[in-house]
Chains A and B, each alone.
Chain A
Amino acid sequence: MAALINVPSKAKRGDIVEIRTLTSHIMETGFRHTADGNLVPRNIITSFTCRYNGAEIFRADLFPAIAANPYLSFFAVVKESGKFEFEWIGDNGYSSAASASITVE
């Protein structure tokens, strides 16, 4: 699925950088009914993880009250050049990944 990642391409060693992620997902709550009374099954992202050069630096659990196309932003201290890897995991075996590189001077 489409994801929009915003990580600065360059930073100074020790800088605090903001990372913004937006991914497409319907985030169906599981509380809604169709016109004929059937429950629409829950279909949400349950977990988001960010790894920086393999080490987990940020994790979030997501719940039914979170809107469609979840947007998450957080901060990281960058010490070396490398790669941020993002992973979204959800109901019905949903899995989506993205990555972004940063050069630290």
Chain B
Amino acid sequence: MMSWRAIAAAALFAAAPALLAGEIPPDARRSGYAFMGPDTRAMQEDDTSNPGMLFVLDGEALWAKKTGSAAKSCTDCHGDARSSMKGVAARYPAFDKALGRPVTLDQRINLCRANHQQAIPLPYESHDLLALSAFIAHQSRGTPITAGDDPQAKPFVEQGRALYMQREGQLNLACTNCHDDNFDKRLAGAPITQAQPTGYPLYRLEWQTLGSLERRLRSCMSGVRAQAYDYGSPELVALELYLMSRAHGLPMETPAVRP
């Protein structure tokens, strides 16, 4: 009897896909949407009540607007975003061969501005940068996330995972302590989610505006009383890349609405 159980347990372990300790198995991964109340869900689902769509509209106008000393618009190179940008955000942060490191969608927009439009980069969290990235990421709504699949990005995924597992701040907490070990519980009345970044940039009711994943990560870091990494720092990009690879297969929701 005992040996049968041992064999069954061994077979179970053998059948399970290779997961690292503490990792959420693919079929148990849930977007932050699954943790929200019915009102916030309804707000996200209806494009005429989702305030993130206002930024998507602004982004659509910016996409077609000529800018910089090259007087080029995004349309001049990329054409209609509806086809050319479909599925792109689901692959970001993506490895850039010239730079030899991964870049976020925001950084890619600014690289395009610098190299092809000869325009000044847009500041992080500025209305125009958020509007453009929301418009681009919106074209991938429903596309399963595949970021981090590129073998060249693997060392950076590993760096992000190490940061995710590392305790920091005066509260001495790592991301994993809440988002792997304690999701579905509550922190000061708010549900703790699995930290699956499916809908960025997203509209947070608390912010009363759209915000990037980096802004979200920085507020978590101040929450544990740690010194937050600067916008665009290699550490934040690596964390963003790890989180996206961790959400592998979940559909994009941009622009999501979160409390």
Contacts and interface: CB of A to CB of B under 8 A. Distances in A.
Nearest to A3: B54
B54 A22 contact: yes
A69 B58 contact: no
A76 interface: no
Interface string B36-69: 0000000000011101011101100000000000
Contacts of B205: 67
A27 B58 CA distance: 18
A6 interface: yes
A5 interface: yes
Nearest to A6: B48
A69 B208 contact: yes
Most buried by B among A2, A26, A68: A2
Given A22-B54, A24-B54, A69-B54, A4 B47 contact: yes
B208 A67 contact: yes
B211 to A, nearest CB: 12
User: Interface size bucket, A side?
Assistant: 10 to 19
A2 B208 contact: no
Given A20-B48, A20-B49, A71-B49, A4 B208 contact: no
A60 B114 CA distance: 45
B12 to A, nearest CB: 50
B45 to A, nearest CB: 13
Contacts of B55: 2, 24
Contacts of B117: none
A23 B49 CA distance: 10
Contacts of B49: 4, 20, 22, 71
Contacts of A22: 48-49, 51, 53-54
Nearest to A4: B48
Contacts of A6: 48
A63 to B, nearest CB: 15
Contact of B208 (A23, A68, A71): A68
Contacts of B159: none
Contacts of A20: 48-49
Contacts of B47: 4
B209 A68 contact: yes
A33 B205 CA distance: 20
Contacts of A24: 51, 54-55, 58
Contacts of B54: 2-4, 22-24, 69
A71 B58 contact: no
Interface string A35-52: 000000000000000000
Nearest to A28: B208
A3 B55 CA distance: 10
Most buried by B among A3, A20, A26, A69: A69
A69 B208 CA distance: 8
Given A2-B57, A2-B58, A4-B57, A69 B48 contact: no
Given A22-B53, A71-B51, 14 more contacts: A2-B54, A2-B55, A2-B58, A3-B54, A4-B47, A4-B49, A4-B53, A22-B49, A23-B54, A24-B54, A27-B208, A67-B208, A68-B208, A71-B49
7 contacts: A4-B53, A5-B48, A6-B48, A22-B48, A22-B49, A22-B53, A67-B205
Interface of A: 2-6, 20, 22-24, 26-27, 67-69, 71
